Amino acid sequence: MKVGVLALQGAFGLHERVLNRLGVAAVQVRTAQELAEVDRLVIPGGESTAISKLLDANGLADPLAERLAGGLPVLGTCAGLILLASEVVDGYPGQRCFGAVDAAVRRNGYGRQADSFSAPVAVAIDGWQSAFPGVFIRAPVVESTGAEVEVMAELDGVPVLCRQGSAVASSFHPELADDDRIHRWFLEQE
């Protein structure tokens, strides 16, 4: 299995490190050719506006849309969630969202950088006995989800980990936790 990490902006190196710890030789994806060669993709946190513009500038937006529509397994964290959502409530005009997860999100919904926090997140995955240490940094808030979205974790009644088909999206940063379970689970999905 070849796992790519979108490496245009943001915390891609941290995801790469987690994947390497799990025995996966992750590759950085910056071109359409590199995207075409991966079996799975991680879209990291960062600045969703910058990532969106860089996808366009690097000719990756349309190839990524095609791969996602074709069922490419993807894990999007923080800004990655924003890009995977079907609607960005407070996005800039023309903000790219791919609709892989039928959700409306609000950027920085939990507040600014100074409002960042950590909280235990109970994840509905069979066999998980303990909460996942969620790290929320300028995290998006999921305001609504469609009928086909499986909410796998909530914080104070708000979805923070969702799945629709082969797309998994998280408001928090699993790559910052000292816990590889979400990445491992993502790799094990069919």
DSSP summary character for residue 106: E
d(CA 42, CA 26): 10
**Candidate list 15, 16, 97, 175, residue with the active-site label:** 175
**78: annotated active-site residue:** yes
Which residue of the set 15, 16, 97, 173 is catalytic?
A: 173
First-residue to last-residue Cα distance in the chain:
12
Q: Where are the alpha helices (DSSP H) in 22-141?
A: 32-36, 48-57, 61-69, 79-84
Query: How many residues are given for the chain?
Result: 190
Examine the residue annotation and report whether 47 is marked as an active-site residue of this protein: no
- Location of structure tokens 């998006």: 140
15 is catalytic: no
Catalytic residue among 15, 78, 162, 183: 78
Q: Is 147 exposed, middle or buried (0-12, 13-18, 19+ CB in 10 A)?
A: exposed
CA–CA gap between residue 81 and residue 129 (Å, rounded): 25
Alpha-carbon span 79 to 99, nearest angstrom: 14
Residues identified as active-site: 78, 173, 175
